[in-house]
Structure 1
Amino acid sequence: MIDRPQPYVESARLPVPAGLGRGFVLASVFVCAACGLVYELELVAVASSLVGDSVTQASVVLSVMVFAMGVGSLLAKRLRCHAAAGFGYVEALLALVGGGSAMALYASFAWLGGTRVMLVITSFTIGALIGAEMPLLMTLIQRIREQDPGGALADLFAADYVGALVGGLTFPFLLLPLAGELTAGLLTGVVNAVAGGVVVQWLFRHDLRERARWRLLAANSCVLLLLLAGTAFVGPFERAARQAVYGDEVRVAVHTAHQELVLTGGATRAQWPAAGELRLFQDGRLALRGRQAHAVHRQLVRPAVVGGPRARVLILGGGDGLALREVLRYRDVREVTVVERDPGVVRLARRDPGLRALNRGALDDPRVRLVHADAFDWLRDRVRGDAVPFDVMVSALPGPGPGGAAGPRLYSQEFYGLAARALADEGRFALRAGPRRERHDFWTVYATLRAAGLRPCPYAGERGFLLAEHARPAPPTCLHGGRTNLPPSTLMHPRYQ
């Protein structure tokens, strides 16, 4: 269907010269584009932290929003006759939906048991409203000074893309660290509502009838009040949502630069029957259970440590200190390097009485050297130099899979190749490959280790641990395939099965 040619549009009566008015419109495009990208990134961040699998969440958000932008652009054609009022209402609704989208996802996850439907609905709504902006802005800027449509579109898109750049950089480096996901979204909505309201209520006020202007002012005011009130209730809302997810036993909840840490249950064993067993959640995933903590980490660590030399040990992850405690049980361990990306985990493990009782203050042992860095980057920088190799390496990172918090590159051939280069000739590498019932993940890690020049040996039964050594031409002595200095009778002991 082809639109009929539009009649000549009378120039708008502006309170400022046309050039300055055009600059104000382009500035609003810049601000609105920045806010729109913040909404998009916020949806991806919140959905990834609640569900995991950031690739899937980003794909859903991006594809739905881009499709909805096309739908919004088509729907906006009907509003071009009332471009100023239409733009005002679109921005008010966008500020409300976008600013509250993070809280809506949290509420859906906590009380409705899932986020996928809410994620699609909010992504589509935000995308449709963003798509409706450009046709309306094109009409408004032509009303200020009619010009070649190609030139006007170039100016609008330039302001839009630069604003998107600023919004994309502001969210991770400023808004998220200083305000958190929920407050950042609400404050972005406030900025969005103010930017859209100023353009319409001041610059194009002569385009609105008195009654329409007051209605639009009332709508903007309600949106601003709701968003500002939301910032005051973020704390109680988060506490209520955590209790809905984790129960009434939430004892500690902190946001670090990398994740959300939640501790539930009693701080001591004596409190567990009444207060519940101590549990540590990282971004909603169970990372530690008090009753199983020692057995699990003993099964992971001991085969690697008792199988040969152990003077120098490297632990990847393990900021909770549980794997470290098992390593330090052996007096001939002279030096242990712990590479933990998140300082917040180490801080919590040192200060919380429950975690400190489990790790017995291992993080304060003089033999321990703490490094706060990404494991992949740290290993890559280390193997470039002439560093002394490690006798034992233990990966205390979470298991692989779409929802794994460690990231796919920490289970890649490149990563295992770096680990092999940092491992001594007689060294052992213990790691978690995921539960044996997840056969695809487990055997993928197994095959990736072999491709990286290591010879893996499964142990600990269903827990899915692997003990890897440098591959050698000698025949394997491990009953499961692979070679290890640890006797097969030890690996087959029920403790490791």
Structure 2
Amino acid sequence: MRSRPRFARLTVLLAAFVCAACGLVYELELVALGDYLLGDTVTQTSVVLSVMVFAMGLGSLLAKRLTSRPATAFALVECALALTGGLSVLALYSCWAWIGRYQAAMVGLTCLIGILIGAEIPLLMTLIQRIRREDAGRAVADLFAADYVGALIGGLAFPFLILPGLGPGDGALLTGAVNAVAGAAVVLWLFREEPAPRIRRLLWGGCLLVLAVLAAAAAGSDAVERAARHALYGDQVRYATRSRYQEIVLTGPAEGPLRLYLDGRLAVCGPDEYRGSEGLVHPAMAAGPDARVLLLGGGDGLALREVLRHRGVRTVRLVDADPALPRLARTDPGLAALGGRSLDDPRVRTTAADPMAWLRGAGASGGDGPYDVVLADLPAPADGGPVKFHSQEFYGLATRLLSPGGRIAVRAGSDLDGLWQIESGLRTTGLQTAPYAVPGSATAACRPGPPDGAQNFLLAAATRPPLTLAPDAPAPRALTPDTLHATTTRLTALRPAHPPAALTLLGPR
């Protein structure tokens, strides 16, 4: 070290670069996992970032007590960080599956990781000064430059390489291994004269033990994930994957009943799914021309099945962000049969794109519209759906693609406050609305306890659309003209005199 100070200093800066990249990856892994398991990306990101930054400050203060032996302390910190960060995703997923205390575990683990990351900079600064005394400002500038560039590389590698290639679990384990080698091993080799021989052997053994634990966790991660899924979904998990957009789990025997879970949320219950699918589709299709249909979401093919039962349909454009869901709905025998193999119909064209981004592009280019019917088969915010798919901006983009006499139908959930907020968004685009409901729950047969209440929907058009059923399609099981009339009368009477403000991308939540 004394004979080659330039090389030693560069090596420490390189360690800082790699450790910063690993630290940011841990942070993003926790955000992504929280989004997968709980939804509400804004809340999960805010909690992780705020707790992490606070804990980093705490770690910096605690590191002052460790600067007398910085190489030994840094090796211990990096081994602990590699082990904690590497196992964080598997640990949190297991807590979510078996214990159910995910939020508390996430805050605790985020705080621990943040403390360890915060201790790195003071220790690295001490190590740099031990190599060669120099102006503190210059040393801090070099160290923070390496740290920030490393964070940039880690932040870019996560969404484009780590997440699509490895997923959150294996990605965290690999990051932990890199962290252990680049942090602990490099510093132990470079400053091997600091610890006593016995301590040095123990530190090297600890580093190797961390790598062995991470390797064993990587070998057993699939078994842990399968066991957690069985604990959550039962023993009849027939398909499970985590795509770039969501976790998809399909359970049940081929002959049914099937259950489809998206990010842990029960999205489809085979015996009852027809209530939601029929409620969204049939009133909209009956209120006017229905030759050209745009279906936003609905990659499971269930709402599409109801659309294709109307003889006047000529073309259907289905837009779903996740191509894995339509692929499953085509290839799984049970789900394909439940959807009537609707995705194989020659009238259907599927597009893998975010519905809002697609609407914006189609509105600017003209797309293949205009459409007689636009169906938003997207969960309401109260049911875990993203706010942007029920915002004023989203409905404004969809309205641009309507033909004269065209209609929009949306799911509004079971919450009345949410119903009126969604209705406000539709009305800000100049449309007239008709609220209605389908009695019964779309998931009652798959959930223990008392069934949920009615499902609310909204039908909107330039003039108030009639609520009726079309004669060119089989009569739905969940709806009758009397049901439509009774529910719209009841909901209209409950409409508040001063409706809540519409959801917007920058407005009320």
Please give the TM-score of this superposition, normalised by the length of structure 2. Answer: 0.88
What are the equivalent positions in structure 2 for 1:177-216 lying under 5 Å apart?
177-216=164-203
Question: SS in structure 2 opposite 1:442?
Answer: helix
The yes-or-no answer on 1:34 pairing with 2:14 is no
What is the root-mean-square deviation in Å for CA atoms of aligned residues?
1.7
Q: Which residue pairs with 1:413 in the alignment?
A: 392
The yes-or-no answer on 1:291 pairing with 2:271 is yes
Q: Which residue pairs with 2:333 in the alignment?
A: 353
Deviation per CA, 1:238-296: give whole Å up to 9, x if none.
Answer: 00011111122211111222111101111214xxxxxxx21000111111110112232
The amino acid of 1:296's aligned partner reads G
Cα pair 1:69 1:128 within 8 Å, conserved: yes
Q: Tell me how far 1:379 sits from its aligned partner.
A: 0.9
Q: Tell me which of 51, 56, 69 is aligned to 1:64.
A: 51
Question: SS in structure 2 opposite 1:202?
Answer: helix
Deviation per CA, 1:93-141: give whole Å up to 9, x if none.
Answer: 0000011110111111111112011011111000000000000000000
What are the equivalent positions in structure 2 for 1:243-258 lying under 5 Å apart?
243-258=230-245
Q: Which residue pairs with 2:217 in the alignment?
A: 230
Q: Tell me how far 1:145 sits from its aligned partner.
A: 0.8
The amino acid of 1:368's aligned partner reads V
Q: Tell me which of 309, 328, 342 is aligned to 2:308.
A: 328
Separation in structure 1 between the aligned mates of residue 202 and residue 71 of structure 2, nearest angstrom = 13
Cα pair 1:459 1:491 within 8 Å, conserved: no
Separation in structure 2 between the aligned mates of residue 484 and residue 290 of structure 1, nearest angstrom = 30
Separation in structure 1 between the aligned mates of residue 67 and residue 258 of structure 2, nearest angstrom = 59
Q: Which residue pairs with 1:397 in the alignment?
A: 378
What are the equivalent positions in structure 2 for 1:427-438 lying under 5 Å apart?
427-435=406-414, 438=415
What are the equivalent positions in structure 2 for 1:358-377 lying under 5 Å apart?
358-377=338-357
Separation in structure 2 between the aligned mates of residue 161 and residue 408 of structure 1, nearest angstrom = 33
Q: Tell me how far 1:464 sits from its aligned partner.
A: 1.2
Bigger mean CA deviation after superposition, 78-87 or 54-63: 54-63
The yes-or-no answer on 1:459 pairing with 2:436 is yes
Cα pair 1:316 1:395 within 8 Å, conserved: yes
Runs of 4+ aligned residues of structure 1 deviating over 4 Å after TM superposition are 487-492
Query: Which residues of structure 2 form unaligned runs of 5+?
Result: 439-453, 471-478, 488-509
Q: Tell me how far 1:402 sits from its aligned partner.
A: 7.8
The yes-or-no answer on 1:469 pairing with 2:461 is yes
Question: SS in structure 2 opposite 1:206?
Answer: coil
Cα pair 2:36 2:246 within 8 Å, conserved: yes
Q: Tell me which of 92, 95, 111 is aligned to 1:124.
A: 111
Q: Tell me how far 1:52 sits from its aligned partner.
A: 1.3
Question: SS in structure 1 opposite 2:400?
Answer: helix
Separation in structure 2 between the aligned mates of residue 485 and residue 64 of structure 1, nearest angstrom = 52
The amino acid of 2:459's aligned partner reads L
Cα pair 2:395 2:426 within 8 Å, conserved: yes
Separation in structure 2 between the aligned mates of residue 278 and residue 358 of structure 1, nearest angstrom = 9
Q: Tell me how far 1:384 sits from its aligned partner.
A: 1.3
The amino acid of 1:177's aligned partner reads P
Separation in structure 2 between the aligned mates of residue 399 and residue 486 of structure 1, nearest angstrom = 21
Query: Which residues of structure 1 form unaligned runs of 5+?
Result: 1-12, 270-276, 473-482
Separation in structure 1 between the aligned mates of residue 273 and residue 484 of structure 2, nearest angstrom = 14
The amino acid of 2:195's aligned partner reads L
Separation in structure 2 between the aligned mates of residue 145 and residue 431 of structure 1, nearest angstrom = 66
Bigger mean CA deviation after superposition, 360-369 or 447-456: 447-456
Separation in structure 2 between the aligned mates of residue 453 and residue 103 of structure 1, nearest angstrom = 49
Q: Which residue pairs with 1:423 in the alignment?
A: 402
Q: Which residue pairs with 2:84 in the alignment?
A: 97
The amino acid of 1:420's aligned partner reads T
Separation in structure 2 between the aligned mates of residue 254 and residue 373 of structure 1, nearest angstrom = 19
Q: Percent identity?
A: 54
Q: Tell me which of 238, 242, 246 is aligned to 2:229.
A: 242
Q: Which residue pairs with 2:291 in the alignment?
A: 311
Q: Which residue pairs with 1:341 in the alignment?
A: 321
Question: SS in structure 1 opposite 2:343?
Answer: helix
The amino acid of 1:429's aligned partner reads I
Q: Tell me how far 1:486 sits from its aligned partner.
A: 3.5
Deviation per CA, 1:312-339: give whole Å up to 9, x if none.
Answer: 0000011111111111111221111101
Question: SS in structure 2 opposite 1:339?
Answer: strand
Separation in structure 1 between the aligned mates of residue 228 and residue 468 of structure 2, nearest angstrom = 50
Q: Tell me how far 1:488 sits from its aligned partner.
A: 10
Closer, same or farther in 2 for the Cα pair 1:359/1:253, shift >3 Å? same
Please give the TM-score of this superposition, normalised by the length of structure 1. Answer: 0.90
Q: Tell me how far 1:385 sits from its aligned partner.
A: 2.7
Cα pair 2:412 2:422 within 8 Å, conserved: yes
What are the equivalent positions in structure 2 for 1:156-195 lying under 5 Å apart?
156-195=143-182
Q: Tell me how far 1:493 sits from its aligned partner.
A: 2.4
Q: Tell me which of 466, 480, 483 is aligned to 1:494.
A: 483
